[in-house]
Amino acid sequence: MTLDVVILAAGQGTRMRSTLPKVLHRLAGKPMVRHVIDTAAGLCAERTHVVVGHGAEKVREALADCRVHFALQAEQKGTGHAVAQALEGLGNGRVLVLYGDVPLIHRATLERLLEGVDDDHLGLLTVTLDDPGGYGRILRNAEGQAVAIVEHKDASESERAVRECNTGIMAMTADQLRRWLPRLSADNAQGEYYLTDIIAMAAAEGVRVVTAQPADPVEVEGVNNRAQMARLERAHQQAIAERLMAEGVALADPSRLDVRGRLTCGHDVEIDVGCVFEGDVELGEGVRIGPHCVIRDSHIGAESVIESHSVIEGAVIAGRATIGPFARLRPGSRLAVGAKVGNFVETKNVEVGEGSKINHLSYVGDARLGRGVNVGAGTITCNYDGANKHRTEIGDDAFIGSNSALVAPVSIGRGATVGAGSTVAKDVPDNALAVTRARQVSKADWPRPRKQDD
Ligand code: UD1
Ligand code: CA
């Protein structure tokens, strides 16, 4: 049977106190609803429908690149009404209802829930809570069969004592929804069309309600405010940290790591506290990352060391490189084996050859450095003339003296030397020395000015 996933995302999220629609708030750097869409994609659903309402335009825009269908719920009249808005687009197989603000649901849990769903079996995900206040309660008959859900606000004292709760996540056939949703009534405490009322309809028709539970209750936790958001973020990060450790990564503190994307590590990678990884980051075997580094969309080769407070984006670093502390590698930085980029150095769109060093206080952009190049402290590639960017080429074994300005386009030959403090605007031939600073004058026994007595 085919599968349609319907993700409810029309609610306002008043308690977030935000102009951003709730489902667009980010968890691990990604809008909550995208986590749900990605999980649904893992189920190989034929179609995924997102029911939008509050901030519909913003949600559509934020998901423009997703392969999803949108259904508009102009007025929020309840979860049953919300699902009904997607009814038209459904196929003839199974339907799974998910929530844009319940981001941590696992694929494995959903697969278990979907297993037995057919014309005679409905799947309902429940969770048993110590403090079930606010949740819909699962009512079971004498045989232990789930036969109804009663919302907290409609529940009697004895029903409220039930601790088994509705997570909201359920699966059924499209036919059943077409049959049951039009029969929902809003005659209840909230004046809403409750999706939960289909459970009693199923039971009445002899459709068996098969319940499943998540491996971890955090999977079915929804987000209503920023505190819950932060709690889910930590839970998610903790799970990532545990997976990394299981794969052989040494984390100084698993509670002080943030991965906002995909982090792939070789064996014996060490990551100190406070690091943030964004996008796709790959760390080779034995890489050491010092405290408080931010690394985005980069590849760092085996045995490289990134010292503390370095910010690396869009870089490809070969093995045994040494970066930082306080280095900033911007997109297009490509470092060969054993290269060094030290403190307060910014690089951008630059190729740094094997064993070459830019150790202190420099800006090197739009350049290519050969092997064994030494760039002295305070060197600047003047790559921008106010209108266009120009390239700097530095040959193998060249030595750039401290505090030099290399005015691009310019090329420094192999084995060439630039004297400290030079402004180099003309090409330097191989093995030559270029010095552009004024000659030093020393005056013997020079009488220093003295303060006048008055
Ligand atoms: C719902 C369930 C309750 C369950 C709880 C779990 C119903 C009637 N009740 O209650 O049994 O224990 O979830 O959290 O289903 N939404 C829309 N359009 C609407 C109404 C809601 O898109 O018209 C979306 C909301 O954005 C939210 C979700 O559906 O993501 C749940 O809605 P909410 O009002 O929070 O349901 P609860 O009252 O918590
Ligand atoms: Ca409600």
The residue whose CA is least distant from atom 36 of ligand 1 is: 79
The residue whose CA is least distant from atom 39 of ligand 1 is: 135
Nearest ligand (C-alpha, residue 12) = 1
- CA of 194 relative to ligand 2 center, distance in Å: 9
pTM of the model: 0.94
**Domains within the chain, CATH numbers bracketed:** 3-220 (3.90.550.10), 226-434 (2.160.10.10)
The neighbouring-strand residues paired with 164 are: 128
- What lies within 8 Å, CB to CB, of 37 at 6+ separation is 7, 48, 50, 63, 66, 68
Exposed, middle or buried by CB within 10 Å (0-12, 13-18, 19+), for 434? buried
The H-assigned helical ranges of 181-282 are: 198-204, 226-246
Quick check: 108 and 215 in contact, CB under 8 A? yes
User: Cβ atoms within 10 A of the Cβ of 4, count?
Assistant: 25
Closest CA to 298 of 316, 284, 310: 316
The H-assigned helical ranges of 278-417 are: none
Continuous segment of H or E residues that includes residue 344: none
- CA of 84 relative to ligand 2 center, distance in Å: 16
- At 290, which amino acid appears? G
Nearest ligand (C-alpha, residue 162) = 1
Each residue's pLDDT tens digit in the chain (454 positions)?
999 999 999 998 999 999 999 999 999 999 999 999 999 999 999 999 999 999 999 999 999 999 999 999 999 999 999 999 999 999 999 999 999 999 999 999 999 999 999 999 999 999 999 999 999 999 999 999 999 999 999 999 999 999 999 999 999 999 999 999 999 999 999 999 999 999 999 999 999 999 999 999 999 999 999 999 999 999 999 999 999 999 999 999 999 999 999 999 999 999 999 999 999 999 999 999 999 999 999 999 999 999 999 999 999 999 999 999 999 999 999 999 999 999 999 999 999 999 999 999 999 999 999 999 999 999 999 999 999 999 999 999 999 999 999 999 999 999 999 999 999 999 999 999 999 999 999 999 999 999 998 7
Pocket of ligand 1 (CB under 6 A): 8, 10-11, 51, 53, 73, 76-79, 81-82, 99-101, 135-136, 149, 151, 165-168, 194-196, 222
> Among all residues, which ones are annotated catalytic?
360
Pairing of strands 346-352, 328-329: parallel
- CA of 189 relative to ligand 1 center, distance in Å: 14
> Going along 136-293, which residue ranges are E strands?
137-140, 146-150, 164-173, 208-212, 250-251, 257-265, 270-271, 275-283, 288-289
Torsions phi, psi of 3, nearest 5? -130, 130
- With the most atoms of ligand 1 within 8 angstroms of its CB, the residue from 79, 127, 152 to mutate is 79
- CA of 4 relative to ligand 2 center, distance in Å: 24
